[in-house]
Structure 1
Amino acid sequence: MRASLLTPYLAAWALALAVGAFFYGKSEGRAACESEHARAVIAQREAGDKLMHDRQIVERKVHALSRQLEEQAYADPVVVERCLSPRRVQRLNAIR
């Protein structure tokens, strides 16, 4: 008779232990997943910041080069208002 009373309590304790282990594992898994996701978001943000910085550097270089080219283009004095200087004509022919 004593063994028959112990069996329902043992089954209840085993079920409670299984349910507790399930919810503990679920909460630990969720925390691990959230921390992994947060690390991935931070890594993506840092990569985006680095790309933006590199893009700004390239933009500055392009702007400086275009300004130099424009200054070189207008460096020749105009001999005749309606004609290009010989140096400009040579430069234009070199581009073709």
Structure 2
Amino acid sequence: MLYFSDLQILLPTNWRKFESLCWDLWREIWDDQDIQKNGIQGQEQDGVDICGKLNKGNLLGGIQCKCNEHNPNKKLTEKDVIKENSKSKKF
């Protein structure tokens, strides 16, 4: 029997594809068909790439997509998360 955990999912080839993958995923998780990508490349986004409403409610959520296409083996660190979280508080 083949299990999902037996499959290897290829890494997205660039950050745009990764951001679109995150957009699709969180649109389903939050059940928000109006979820939006925030800003364009090079524009200050205050650490938020995707924003939407959670479960058709009034609570807004923000997502920061981190795709290191130049070094896909680089691990996301706690320091990275703290830095992006601090930026997102300005959003």
Name the structure where strand makes up a greater proportion of residues: 2
Name the structure where helix makes up a greater proportion of residues: 1
Please give the TM-score of this superposition, normalised by the length of structure 2. 0.20
Larger radius of gyration, structure 1 or 2?
1
Please give the TM-score of this superposition, normalised by the length of structure 1. 0.19
